[in-house]
Structure 1
Amino acid sequence: MTPRLRGRTALVTGSTSNIGRAIALAFAAQGAHVVVSGRDETRGDGVVAEIERAGGRADFVRADLDGTAQASQALAAEATRRLGGRLDVLVNNAGIYPPGTTPTTDPATFDRVYAVNVKAPFFLTQVVAPAMVAAGGGVIVNLGSWVARRGLPMGALYASTKGAMETLTRAWSAEFGGGGVRVNAISPGVIRDPALDPSSQFAGETLMHGTPAGTAGHPDAIAAAAVYLASDDAAFVHGAVLDVDGGRTGVTTTGR
């Protein structure tokens, strides 16, 4: 079987751990040359080494996406250079989730969460999407979240940033779709980081009670969706938000 992303190039932000790492590994396994990006060089080099051991191609580019246009532009430029001058797929995955409620959120935290979760991908897309149009097309995959559409009594700030990313997905699809750029999003449910101790309690499990899955998901489920959206199999998919959430958003079961 031909790898679904053979010959493609991709940048995955926040890909030194968890969901981003899984996407980078899956893209490389499907034939893409991947730029792994994040703040931790040691972890980034580890992901690159893992990809190369499996026969894939990857580079690490350190980036602290602080919400400034300069940081996003620098990452786009260096990633494109490492990928031979062409970037086919951008995955806007990097994000932060500080715990807290609306009354306990200070202005500095508010600004930082919006800087990392919204401004950074906005300015990255601002430079990458026009370059994709000029090259004849490309794919952008954003990471939303089920909490953007299911109200919870905590995490309002984070939920609002993910709602912004899902809205930007539709807006960017309209803005750049005519130029051959497909823009879609994935809305993950509760995902358990494989780096956590398997024997430890994971509070997120309770949030999946009453769903068809009944338990937290694995990052590989999100990676599989990202591969689909990045591939030609999704050629007719534009402006969609794909729920990969074990049924958390749309389904309630009984007896669990």
Structure 2
Amino acid sequence: MKTALITGATKGMGRAIAFAFAKQGLNLAICSRNIKDLEQIKAELLSINQQISIITVEADATKKDQLLNFAQTAEAQLGYIHVIVNNVGIYQPTSILDDAEDTFDFQLSANLRPAYELYRYFGKKLAAAQNGHIFNICSIAAINPVVNAGMYSVTKAATLSLSSIMRLEMQQYGVKVTSVIPGSTLTSSWDGVAVDANKMVLPDDIASAVIAIYNMSAGANVNEITITPVFGQL
């Protein structure tokens, strides 16, 4: 049985992707900063598929030691990790000139460093096994920067670039790397904002795309997929 590791899996896109992989019959390793959220989602996931194994680790993915502990725990309890979903990220709607003093470091730690560190941890193992798939959840802001979310746009652009480098490094080993580029998606980032859900991408749309890509033949890879609202960005 294969295993998927997902960061930030209790909300939004990460949550939807976790449920999608559970329905596919994959074991899951998931992390979050909130242990109660982890306990709740584990129960929900097992209610739809009691045949899979799920490990949960309370971890702040912006902290390298906690992130790597998550990776090590997942390996120790579930064995080889076949799928890595770098989902964790935080949207901060401020212009660079108005950033707080810690914004630069925090946005790097939240949006770029987790994907980098997990790639460093798992990359050579995936290459040696010549088997695996990495999904990096980027953002349309990586392509069309949002002036009122400057460092978010910068770090997401860096994540997209990192994802491209991962793909080039891994392709000789047959390991797949896909950049998922969502537009305005109805996640907790929009809490408190009046929006029309019918004019946004839904987390389930992202999960459906990830699963469709995952299920492609061994010789096919989707380098990038962009999913945006049919009416345009909000």
**TM-score, scaled to structure 2:** 0.90
Counterpart check, 1:64 vs 2:63: no
Counterpart check, 1:18 vs 2:18: no
Q: Shift in Å at residue 202 of structure 1?
A: 2.7
Bigger drift between 22-31 and 173-182 goes to 173-182
Q: Give the letter for the 2:70 counterpart.
A: L
Q: Shift in Å at residue 201 of structure 1?
A: 4.7
1:14-56 CA-to-partner distances (Å, cap 9, x unmatched) read: 0011110000000001111111211111111111111101124
Counterpart check, 1:135 vs 2:119: no
Q: Which has the higher helix share?
A: 2
> Which of 136, 153, 159 is the equivalent residue of 1:159?
153
Counterpart check, 1:224 vs 2:208: yes
Q: Secondary structure at the match of 2:85?
A: strand
Greater Rg over alpha carbons, structure: 1
- Contact between 2:17 and 2:207, CA under 8 Å: does it hold in 1? yes
Residue pairs, 1:106-125, within 5 angstroms: 106-125=100-119
1:50-73 CA-to-partner distances (Å, cap 9, x unmatched) read: 1101124222122111253x3332
Distance 1:159 1:76, change over 3 A: same
1:109-154 CA-to-partner distances (Å, cap 9, x unmatched) read: 1101101211121011111121112223100000011111123331
* RMSD, matched Cα: 2.4
Match of 1:44 in 2: 38
Matched residues in 2 for 1:46 and 1:195: separation? 21
Q: Shift in Å at residue 230 of structure 1?
A: 2.4
List alignment gaps of at least 5 residues for structure 2.
none
Q: Give the letter for the 1:66 counterpart.
A: T
Bigger drift between 131-140 and 225-234 goes to 225-234
Q: Secondary structure at the match of 1:107?
A: coil
Q: Secondary structure at the match of 1:10?
A: strand
Match of 1:202 in 2: 194
- Contact between 2:199 and 2:230, CA under 8 Å: does it hold in 1? no
Matched residues in 1 for 2:188 and 2:115: separation? 25
Match of 2:199 in 1: 215
Percent identity of paired positions between Structure 1 and Structure 2: 28
- Contact between 2:25 and 2:49, CA under 8 Å: does it hold in 1? no
Matched residues in 2 for 1:180 and 1:38: separation? 30
> Which of 213, 224, 227 is the equivalent residue of 1:241?
224
1:193-239 CA-to-partner distances (Å, cap 9, x unmatched) read: 38988xx7535x5xx9xxxxx7112100000111123233474115x
Bigger drift between 144-153 and 157-166 goes to 144-153
Q: Give the letter for the 1:245 counterpart.
A: T
Matched residues in 2 for 1:42 and 1:222: separation? 25
Q: Give the letter for the 1:76 counterpart.
A: A
> Which of 69, 72, 82 is the equivalent residue of 1:77?
72
Q: Give runs of ≥4 in structure 1 deviating > 3 Å.
A: 194-197, 232-235
- Contact between 1:133 and 1:176, CA under 8 Å: does it hold in 2? yes
Bigger drift between 218-227 and 54-63 goes to 54-63
Distance 1:74 1:201, change over 3 A: closer
List alignment gaps of at least 5 residues for structure 1.
1-6, 209-213
Q: Secondary structure at the match of 2:84?
A: strand
Matched residues in 2 for 1:101 and 1:10: separation? 35
Q: Secondary structure at the match of 2:199?
A: coil
- Contact between 1:8 and 1:88, CA under 8 Å: does it hold in 2? yes
